[in-house]
């Protein structure tokens, strides 16, 4: 079995795309798997990833400082190159742009010795900072010398393949491939999260409708639309907020002078128990404004979680990807059309077939397996 190196800067507790890819490789190659994960962790990760996988934490001396960011990049690059040289991998799977520099330099020096797969999680928006534009410069260079590029969806693939002249590529949708296997029967959920789950279960027993919103409350994620939606003040309905800090949630409430009682704050949830919260949802709000390209051509993993569980979706009509999915899968409604109680009742009572997602998951896993079979 050839040695594989994953390299990423991420909070692995919540990174479903990477965790699902690792799970697939474990299922596919079983005891033969030899995967080393070079991780620049955004948060500590203490879980055992299982058979055939070893994590190498590449922490740096300076983190979370804009003024010292260049030293963080240089230190990480030096540590990553040294570890790659020690490991002598046959395949390096690069997870998104923030870790491209060491792999780009290694590929330029030892191109014939290693296969590089670049996994493009997001497209930079038109309004990115100078730092991100610099990362984007090296990202584009790496994509052009990589042996294969994996995009987050077909829409992004069509644009960037044409722009960069890339011939060997595919896309891998961020679906909930193994979410039903995350929690073992005898595994206990952290008491903090169990308490929140118990409170939500009680609300449901009392007849309260649970509408999930997961993700950052940014302008481009429909921040104002969500605020206006909550002001409709539907009876016995709560918006469950997942994936942000309590400080950000409070600032959101204060900015729009919202009623706390219309919300239930959960916060950041480990990926392995995320499904437990989603299973309680009566509907889900997923919004990406089309102002910038990364949001316009979104790869909405939250939409696919809803699709897997048959949860009615509420999306913004002006996003071409979300509106296309809504019409294709008949999964739900547009937030702009929900204005009175009978509208939300129609959302909550909506049902649709979930068989499509199972077929889509099977198709995506076959594609991903074919990529690795080509190089291993």
- The answer to whether residue 368 is domain-embedded is no
Angle between helices 271-278 and 16-29 in degrees, nearest 10? 110
pLDDT tens for each residue of 271-291: 889 999 999 999 999 999 999
What is the gyration radius of the CA atoms in the chain, in angstroms? 21
Same domain, 206 and 168: no
- Given 122, 151, 172, the domain boundary residue is 172
Indicate if the pLDDT at residue 180 is higher than 70: no
Mean pLDDT in residue range 128-151: 87
Same domain, 208 and 350: yes
- The answer to whether residue 376 is domain-embedded is no
pLDDT tens for each residue of 239-271: 999 999 999 999 999 999 999 999 999 999 988
Residues 6+ apart with CB under 8 A from 209: 234, 236, 237, 238, 282, 283, 344, 348
Domain tally, the chain: 2
Q: Give the pLDDT score at 166.
A: 96
Same domain, 147 and 213: no
Same domain, 166 and 192: no
Indicate if the pLDDT at residue 167 is higher than 60: yes
- Given 172, 197, 218, the domain boundary residue is 172
Give the C-alpha distances (Å, rounded to integers) separating 156 from 35, 166, 298, 347. 28, 12, 9, 30
Q: Give the pLDDT score at 354.
A: 80
Q: Give the pLDDT score at 41.
A: 93
- The answer to whether residue 201 is domain-embedded is yes
Residue reference for tokens 């939606």: 229
Residues 6+ apart with CB under 8 A from 236: 206, 207, 208, 209
Same domain, 194 and 330: yes
In this prediction, residue 207 has a pLDDT band, given cuts at 50, 70 and 90, of very high
We report the CATH number of the domain holding residue 93 as 3.40.50.2000
343: containing domain: 183-355
Q: Give the pLDDT score at 62.
A: 78
């Amino acid at each position: 079995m050839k040695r594989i190196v994953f390299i990423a800067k991420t909070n692995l507790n919540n990174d479903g795309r990477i965790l699902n890819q690792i799970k697939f490789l474990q299922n596919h190659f079983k005891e033969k798997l030899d995967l080393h994960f070079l991780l620049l962790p955004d948060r500590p990760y203490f879980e055992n990833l299982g058979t055939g996988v070893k994590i190498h934490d590449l922490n740096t001396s300076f983190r979370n400082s804009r003024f010292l960011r260049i030293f963080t990049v240089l230190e990480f690059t030096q540590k990553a190159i040294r570890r790659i040289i020690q490991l002598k991998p046959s395949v390096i799977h690069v997870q998104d742009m923030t870790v491209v520099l060491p792999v780009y330099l290694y590929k330029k020096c030892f191109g014939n010795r290693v296969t590089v797969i670049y996994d493009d999680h997001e497209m930079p928006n038109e309004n990115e900072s100078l730092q991100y534009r610099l990362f984007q410069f090296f990202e584009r260079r790496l994509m052009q010398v990589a042996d294969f590029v994996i995009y987050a969806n077909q829409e992004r693939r069509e644009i960037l393949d044409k722009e960069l002249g890339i011939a060997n590529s595919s896309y891998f949708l961020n679906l909930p491939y193994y979410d039903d296997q995350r929690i073992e029967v005898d595994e206990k959920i952290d008491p903090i999260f169990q308490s929140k789950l118990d409170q939500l279960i009680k609300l449901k027993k009392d007849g309260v409708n649970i509408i999930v919103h997961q993700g950052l409350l940014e302008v481009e994620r429909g921040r104002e639309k969500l605020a206006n939606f909550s002001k409709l003040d539907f009876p016995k309905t709560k918006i469950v907020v997942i994936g942000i800090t309590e400080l950000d949630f409070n600032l959101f409430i204060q900015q729009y002078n919202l009623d706390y009682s219309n919300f239930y704050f959960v916060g950041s949830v480990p990926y392995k128990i995320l499904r437990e919260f989603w299973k309680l949802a009566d509907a889900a709000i997923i919004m990406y404004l089309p102002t910038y390209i990364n949001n316009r051509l979104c790869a909405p993993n939250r939409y696919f979680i809803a699709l897997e569980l048959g949860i009615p979706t509420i999306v913004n009509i002006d996003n071409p990807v979300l509106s296309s999915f809504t019409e294709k899968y008949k999964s739900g409604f547009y937030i702009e059309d929900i204005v009175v109680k009978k509208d939300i009742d129609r959302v909550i009572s909506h049902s649709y077939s979930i068989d499509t997602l199972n077929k889509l998951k099977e198709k995506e896993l076959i594609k991903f397996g074919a990529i690795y079979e080509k190089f291993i």
